């Protein structure tokens, strides 16, 4: 099944790739890799979620925020490679969680991104992950997610 068909089956409509919020690019391709900048849980021009896990948001909301970051990252990948079927592997998710004192649910939150990548890309969605708790996040976003992906016909 094509990735586009899979997205449709999952009821996911890719948004336009969110533009960078400052003097940088949303993605770059180098060699066989596409790397995205840090993705936030944008829904159009608004952050769908704001605040810290462990204070302002529940773990379930954090999971949804991480999922939305991943959807935005897929939108960046599509802009980078045009046809998502050319993605060979989602190599790496760098997951950063805006964490209030004592929060420990990073893995559960970031599974929102990991589960989506596996659902959309199947075996090609298998990835490494980092999970850090960040004290102060740009724009008060609850999650920031960077993605490295390998492209099939990469040099």
According to DSSP H, which parts of 1-155 are helical? 3-9, 59-81, 106-121
Contacts of 34 (CB under 8 A, 6+ apart): 27, 28, 76, 77, 80, 81, 147, 148, 149, 151
61 to 100, contacts with a copy of itself by CB under 8 A? 89, 91-94, 96, 99-100
Number of neighbours of residue 45 by Cβ within 10 angstroms: 7
What is the nearest approach in angstroms of a copy of itself to the Cβ of residue 149? 9
Q: Residues 94-123 vs a copy of itself: string with x where CB under 8 A?
A: x-x--xxxxxx-xxx-xx--xx--x-----
Angstrom distance (rounded) from CA 74 to CA 72: 5
Distance of closest approach, residue 94 Cβ to a copy of itself, in angstroms:
7
59 in contact with a copy of itself (CB under 8 A): no
Q: Is 31 in the site for a copy of itself (CB under 8 A)?
A: yes
Residues within window 119-148 making contact with a copy of itself, judged by CB under 8 A: 126-140, 144, 146, 148
């Amino acid at each position: 099944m094509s990735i586009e068909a899979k997205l449709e089956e999952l009821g996911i409509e890719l948004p336009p790739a969110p533009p960078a919020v400052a003097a940088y690019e949303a993605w770059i391709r180098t060699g066989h890799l596409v790397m995205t900048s840090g993705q936030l849980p944008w829904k159009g021009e608004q952050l769908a979620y704001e605040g810290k896990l462990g204070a302002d948001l529940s773990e379930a909301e954090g999971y949804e925020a991480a999922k939305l970051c991943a959807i935005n990252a897929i939108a960046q990948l599509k802009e980078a490679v045009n046809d998502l079927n050319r993605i060979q592997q989602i190599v790496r998710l760098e997951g950063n969680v805006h964490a209030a004192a004592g929060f420990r649910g990073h893995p559960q939150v970031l599974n929102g991104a990991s589960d989506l990548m596996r659902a959309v890309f199947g075996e090609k969605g298998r990835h490494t992950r980092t999970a850090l708790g960040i004290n102060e996040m740009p724009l008060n976003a609850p999650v920031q997610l960077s993605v490295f992906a390998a492209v099939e016909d990469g040099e």
